[in-house]
């Protein structure tokens, strides 16, 4: 039986904590595994324009040192904030659109090998123009793509963000089969 025998905080960040876990293996040997705790969870949105194209954001991602194409998403303000409220807020902040009726699509654990991050994904239709409200230092370009174009970008490796890939494929499976 594998069991965790100790968890030691190594780093506390603004949205995540990093731990060194001592894990006892079935043979009794102790190994050290990294664990990243995403404290608040997050939400994301598949934003569907009136013509059926999906609205995505292109933004810089430091971990990759490049810009990526993703669905709008962000962390909850607190662990008690409903993910639907977070999704609605992120939709408006990042895209400048709002939606009065989000539909739950899928719940994801993004990187189960070392992190507990949970992202609930919603679908937003009947978008209502509003105003983009970017965070300080945030630079986002909006792009609208057909579902077919996005699937092609996924298979070509042009879209690699896990939540975006899973959300687009779930949306396609649920609404376009």
Residues 138-148: pLDDT tens digits? 889 999 999 99
Query: What does 111-142 look like in DSSP terms, one character per residue?
Result: -TTTB--EEEEEEE-S-EE----PPTT--EEE
Percent of the chain exceeding pLDDT 70 equals 100
* CA–CA separation, 4 and 173 (whole Å): 38
Note the pLDDT tens digit of each residue in 114-154. 999 999 999 999 999 999 988 888 889 999 999 999 999 99
Note the pLDDT tens digit of each residue in 73-107. 999 999 999 999 999 999 999 999 999 999 999 99
Residue 64 has pLDDT above 80, yes or no: yes
| Residues labelled as active-site residues | 136
Residue 177 has pLDDT above 80, yes or no: no
**pTM: predicted TM-score of the whole model, two decimal places:** 0.93
* Structural domains of the chain, with CATH: 3-38 (no CATH), 42-175 (3.90.79.10)
- How many residues comprise the chain? 177
């Amino acid at each position: 039986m594998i069991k965790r025998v100790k968890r030691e905080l190594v780093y506390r960040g603004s949205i995540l904590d990093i731990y060194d876990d001592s894990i006892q293996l079935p043979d009794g040997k102790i190994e050290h595994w990294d664990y990243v705790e995403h404290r608040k969870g997050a939400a994301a949105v598949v934003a569907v324009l009136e013509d059926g194209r999906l609205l995505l954001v292109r933004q810089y991602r430091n971990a990759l040192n490049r810009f990526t194409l993703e669905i709008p998403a962000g962390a909850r303000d607190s662990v008690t904030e409903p993910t639907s409220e977070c999704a609605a807020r992120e939709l408006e902040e990042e895209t400048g659109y709002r939606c009065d009726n989000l539909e739950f699509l899928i719940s994801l654990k993004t990187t189960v090998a070392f992190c507990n991050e949970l992202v609930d994904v919603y679908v937003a239709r009947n978008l209502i123009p509003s105003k983009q409200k970017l965070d300080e230092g945030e630079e986002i370009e909006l792009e609208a793509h057909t579902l077919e174009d996005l699937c092609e970008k996924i298979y070509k490796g042009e879209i690699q963000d896990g939540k975006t890939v899973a959300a687009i494929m779930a949306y396609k499976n649920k609404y376009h089969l």
